[in-house]
């Protein structure tokens, strides 16, 4: 049996290839820092295995462990059906329609997500002419579950007991090379689910990975397919691009590939209009730098703030020469709400923030300081002033000033 030998000294890429028989996966012996693996997720996996089911850690958590990062959450894939998982864990519930899975609940609000192995439902289709996946609830086996995933770096399975990585798709090599590549033909995968285009940009930006040339070309070629994606999913994925700690790099990739032209032409037009360091495009890049610094400092910004900052420059242009700034912003946002299903809560917050920004910049808050949008508005103003290279002393004074008590009548009026 061929082996790749190397001392297991903590470097996950110095591995022993245990088995490469086809169709079984290549198995890589690895050593992870146990402190990085949540003890509750280990309990979930071991209980499933103890009752005769296959169960592995899967996806992003395995990738992050290989990159010596601490995973934010852990997902489990298993041969057990949702009802069988529910029977094993009294502290669980079955959720989802499009994608039924089980949430196992622990103290402190922790949730471990457990999904049954699935296969690509296209394999069951008699007519393969339509690529777009509309349901993802066909159960399968472990290797089918790996093959249906979007990118090779996200299709690695970790066997907790054996301390082995199971790799059916070449994901270990992609992690080693630090590249993003689809499982199978990129164009086919993007037309099956156009949201994968945004996920490719997200992983390249967040992880600092390169996009392979054929995947990059497919992103450009298939970008118009994003119009077929569910609008709430588009909105959520854009927020994930902004939350991931590499907003500038990721939005740049979206602009460079023309994806931003499809989703937010109002923003991409400003970026094409290069007016030097003082232009709105350059200010947007500096604002996104500010967003990334806040994320790195573990002081992430509210989602309403993120939307406002991404759209701030075109919203300000919409307000030029207009007395009613709130109405101008509302008119500007209407086509975006329709295109991306941006929630009315976010749109209302953006409208109110942009309307009051000039007053806050002058150090005047008044009754606005009583509202729930006051602190997010200060965050937006801080980002804008920083991008302009101007002092933020006015914000410091507003934050430190005693806030007027919010009366019950005001609160009731605000809720209405």
SS3 content of the chain, % helix, strand, coil (to 5): 55, 10, 35
Identify the DSSP state of 324: -
- Are 332 and 368 contacting, i.e. CB atoms less than 8 angstroms apart? no
Catalytic residue among 4, 73, 136, 289: 73
What is the rounded distance in angstroms from the CA atom of residue 68 to the CA atom of residue 54?
Answer: 26
The burial class, CB within 10 Å (0-12 / 13-18 / 19+), for 54 is middle
Residue 241, classed as helix, strand or coil, is helix
- Are 239 and 310 contacting, i.e. CB atoms less than 8 angstroms apart? no
- HSE-up (13 A, CA, CB side) for residue 266: 17
Catalytic residue among 75, 167, 174, 379: 75
Structure tokens at 146: 């790996």
State the pairing for strand pair 101-105/16-17. unpaired
150 classed as catalytic: yes
64 classed as catalytic: no
Catalytic residue among 38, 145, 150, 379: 150
Compute and round to an integer the Cα radius of gyration of the chain. Answer: 24
Number of H helices, E strands in the chain: 19, 11
CA distances from 326 to 222, 318, 352, 353 (A): 36, 10, 6, 9
State the pairing for strand pair 179-180/210-211. parallel
224 classed as catalytic: no
Q: Which residues contact 117 (CB under 8 A, 6 or more apart)?
A: 54, 77, 78, 79, 139, 140, 141, 142, 144, 145
Structure tokens at 66: 């290989």
End-to-end CA distance of the chain, in Å?
71
What is the rounded distance in angstroms from the CA atom of residue 320 to the CA atom of residue 303?
Answer: 25
- Residues with catalytic function: 73, 75, 150
């Amino acid at each position: 049996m061929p082996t790749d030998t190397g001392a297991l000294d903590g470097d996950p890429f110095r591995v022993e290839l245990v088995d490469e028989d086809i169709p079984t996966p290549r198995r890589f012996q690895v050593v992870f820092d146990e402190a990085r693996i949540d003890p509750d997720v280990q309990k979930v996996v071991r209980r499933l295995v103890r009752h005769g089911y296959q169960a592995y850690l899967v996806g992003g958590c395995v990738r992050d462990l290989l990159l010596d990062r601490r995973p934010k959450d852990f997902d489990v894939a298993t041969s057990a059906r949702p009802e069988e998982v529910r029977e094993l864990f009294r502290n669980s519930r079955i959720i989802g329609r499009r994608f039924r899975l089980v949430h196992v609940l622990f103290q402190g609000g922790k949730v471990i997500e457990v999904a049954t192995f699935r296969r690509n439902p296209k394999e069951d289709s008699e007519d393969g002419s339509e690529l777009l996946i509309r349901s993802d609830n066909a159960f399968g086996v472990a290797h089918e579950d790996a093959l249906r995933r979007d990118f090779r770096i996200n299709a690695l399975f970790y066997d907790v007991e054996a301390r082995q990585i199971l790799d059916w798709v070449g994901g270990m090599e992609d992690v080693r090379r630090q590249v993003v590549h689809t499982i199978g033909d990129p164009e086919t995968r993007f037309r099956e689910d156009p949201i994968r285009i945004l996920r490719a940009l997200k992983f390249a930006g967040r992880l600092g990975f390169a996009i392979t040339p054929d995947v990059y070309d497919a992103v450009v070629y298939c970008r118009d397919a994003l119009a077929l994606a569910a609008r709430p999913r588009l909105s959520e994925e854009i927020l994930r691009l902004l939350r991931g700690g590499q907003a500038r790099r990721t939005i740049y990739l979206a602009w460079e590939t023309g994806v931003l032209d499809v989703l937010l032409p109002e923003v991409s037009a400003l970026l094409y209009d290069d007016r030097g360091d003082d232009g709105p495009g350059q200010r947007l890049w500096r604002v996104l730098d500010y967003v990334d610094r806040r994320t790195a400092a573990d002081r992430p910004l509210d989602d309403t703030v993120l939307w406002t900052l991404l759209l701030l420059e075109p919203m300000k242009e919409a307000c030029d020469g207009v007395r009613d700034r709130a109405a101008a912003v509302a008119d500007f946002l209407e086509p975006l709400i329709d295109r991306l299903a941006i929630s009315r809560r976010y749109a209302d917050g953006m409208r109110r923030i942009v309307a009051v920004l000039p007053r806050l910049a002058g150090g005047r808050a008044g009754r606005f300081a009583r509202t729930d949008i006051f602190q997010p508005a200060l965050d937006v103003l801080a980002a804008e002033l920083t991008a302009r290279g101007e002092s933020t002393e006015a914000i410091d004074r507003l934050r430190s000033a005693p806030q007027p008590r919010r009366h019950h009548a005001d609160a009731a009026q605000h809720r209405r």
